[in-house]
Amino acid sequence: MSRRAFAALVRKDLLLELRGSEVVLAMVAFVLAAFVLFRFGLGGGRPAGGTRAATGMLWVAIVFTAMLGLLRTFAQEREHGIWDGLLAAPIDRALLWLARACSTCLFLIAVQVVALPAFWLFFLQEGPAPDYGVLVAAVVLADIGIAALGSLVAGLASAGRAREVLLPVLFLPFAIPLVLGAVSATTGTISPQTSGLHTVERLGYLALYDTVFVLFGWGLFEFVVED
């Protein structure tokens, strides 16, 4: 039952997105514009600050892009009264969160399929090629963290008076350690000599972040939804 309910919930999110294209296209346009902005900000010709500055920009852009998507999280449910139906359904409340986190994660990955090549094109094409396996692992792990925490925090923010303002304020303190870990992991894939840490440690940190906030999301979401 719960597996079917979960699949139905994720399918609903993906179908809505496929038919309406409300979120992913906007996120792609936003992240590309942000890259261009950062590229000009770092100066023409070769970007200042090297790989480290570039990956920092990448993750700041991704976090802001994710926030754009998270702002729409639960918006349709509230605007069209879907919540009442979902809450009346005999399913675990935590499943609502899990399904939302999964679809957010899939949206983020879809955005990054476009964003990462663009990032390489704008910032790194003259440098060494990254270790693609590690890069993909780092990006997916960071996406899981953003989606798990973001879906919980979006639930909290959606009841506030100024949802659009509240979400970034609630989310960003938690994004700082994630960005630190993701930048460390991504920089390590491009220039491994920058730090003594091993790839496993960097990815391990991101996995730990995911584990912690997946557990919190799973345990706490039932207190976020209305009775």
Partner 1 sequence: MNTTAAARLDRATFAALVAAVLMPVALGLIFFYVPNDVDQGFSQRIFYFHVPIAMTTYALFGWGALNAARYLWTGDMQLDLRSYVPMHLGVIFGTLTLVTGSIWAKVSWGTWWYWGSTELNTFLIIFLFYCAYFMLRFSVEPGERRARYSAVYALLGVGLIPISVLAVHLGQDVIHPITFTDHGANMDGSMLFTFLMSLAAMLSLAVAMYLVELRGKRLDDQVARLRRLAQGTP
- Residues at the site binding partner 1, with contacts judged by CB under 8 A: 149, 152-153, 156-157, 159-162, 166, 169-170, 172-174, 176-178, 180-181, 183-184, 197, 201-202, 205, 208-209, 212-213, 216, 220, 223-224, 226
Alpha helices by DSSP H, the chain: 2-20, 24-41, 50-72, 75-79, 82-88, 93-119, 132-157, 163-190, 199-224
User: Distance from CA of residue 100 to its chain's centroid?
Assistant: 12
Tell me how far, at minimum, the Cβ of 192 lies from partner 1, in Å.
Answer: 15
The set of residues, in sequence order, having a beta carbon less than 8 Å from that of 60 and lying 6+ positions away, is: 38, 179
Tell me how far, at minimum, the Cβ of 20 lies from partner 1, in Å.
Answer: 28
Tell me how far, at minimum, the Cβ of 215 lies from partner 1, in Å.
Answer: 8
Q: Which is nearer to partner 1, 96 or 183 (CB)?
A: 183
Over its C-alpha atoms, the chain yields an Rg (Å, rounded) of 18
Tell me how far, at minimum, the Cβ of 126 lies from partner 1, in Å.
Answer: 25
The C-alpha angle 78, 142, 28, rounded to 5 degrees, equals 60
Which run of H or of E encompasses 81? none
What whole-number distance in Å separates Cα of residue 73 and Cα of residue 151? 7
Tell me how far, at minimum, the Cβ of 24 lies from partner 1, in Å.
Answer: 27
What secondary structure letter does DSSP report for 148? H
Is the CB of residue 112 less than 8 Å from the CB of residue 139?
A: yes
